[in-house]
Amino acid sequence: MSVRLRAGLIGLGVMGRNHARVLNGLDGVDLVGVVDPAGRPDSAPHGVPLLATVPDLLALGIDYAVVACPTALHEEIGLQLAEAGVGALIEKPLAESVEAAERLVAAFESRGLVAGVGHIERYNPALQSMRTRLEAGELGEVFQVVTRRQGPFPHRIADVGVVKDLATHDIDLTAWVTGEAYVSVCAHTVARSGRPHEDMVAAVGRLTDGSMVNHLVNWLSPLKERTTVVTGERGCFVADTLTADLTFYANGEVSTEWEALRAFRGVSEGDMIRYAIPKREPLQVEHERFRDAMVEGTGDIVTLRQGLRTVEVSAAVLESARLGETVTLKAPEVLDAV
């Protein structure tokens, strides 16, 4: 690339170190400095200076920064970057509250700065292929979206519960693959690990087109699962985002006359197709898209307004669980088309 961008990184936890790895080899970008609020001096990439504060990083003249520190710090650091006229790629969730997310949106939009949210599932090859096929009408009318996201407890997470840490992935990807917004949610949560935040959530929602959504999320299971199933009038798509596989199960068209086999396979069968799709690392693609947006002013990134909407839905999930009733969401004025 003819244009070279100067990037900074804030946060060197598990995700931060992955960002550092990708930034270090990203074409057209120089990683010029790192700040780690947790003070891990041995985590900085080789040859990249570890700085004490965000102002120290800004003093290097960066074009944008990746914010990969705890969610509670997103607003404070994001506002510093916006005030300095610096773009930002902020890890999900955008902020710990709707109000904080709104302030971040206002800060970056009022200055015309490029800013995005790190909802990495949008760049998973299986979900990218699914969205393209849904847009082409291959499934016909969508009836339901079901996601299952479970696995062992991530000890790196201390400041939020499973809704904001994990369910935000499913909330964002559901709205993105369908092109619809949430209009209501009803949820139940439980806490079993002794921490102050919820460990499990089961949520049911409705989208603007009337389709149903189900999310099952926990981090107390020895089974690691990342599955999105979209069912429509012609069958269903199943995306496994751990393996980046996408499979299509067509509605049954061929009856099974072999009586003994019907007990195992059902009365009719349709085609099952596992698509061969190119598989690139989602984080690499996410950084490339954000880099391009910085250079060109527009691009295939998750906007702050979309990140705000996800925070709004996750807040509604927690509110529903607290009240024990369905929560209705205000319809967004405009659904950004990404």
Tokens matching residue 5: 């961008």
Cα–Cα distances (Å) from 44 to 21, 65, 144, in that order, read: 10, 15, 44
Tell me: the pLDDT tens digits for 83-133? 999 999 999 999 999 999 999 999 999 999 999 999 999 999 999 999 999
pLDDT, average across residues 292-302:
89
pLDDT value of residue 202: 98
Tell me: the pLDDT tens digits for 152-203? 887 666 678 999 999 999 999 999 999 999 999 999 999 988 788 899 999 9
pLDDT value of residue 288: 97
pLDDT level of residue 256 (50, 70, 90 thresholds): low
pLDDT level of residue 289 (50, 70, 90 thresholds): very high
The percentage of residues in the chain with a pLDDT greater than 90, rounded to a whole number, is: 80
Which among 335, 313, 330, 332 is positioned nearest to 186, based on CA atoms? 313
3-state secondary structure 296-312: HCCCCCCEHHHHHHHHH
- HSE at residue 42, side-chain half, CA atoms within 13 A, is 0
Q: What is the mean pLDDT of the chain?
A: 91
pLDDT, average across residues 245-274:
74
Tell me how far apart the alpha carbons of residues 208 and 183 are, in angstroms, rounded to a whole number.
6
Secondary structure of residue 27 in the 3-state scheme? coil
pLDDT value of residue 336: 47
Tell me how far apart the alpha carbons of residues 89 and 15 are, in angstroms, rounded to a whole number.
13
The dihedral sign for the CA sequence 65, 314, 213, 175:
negative
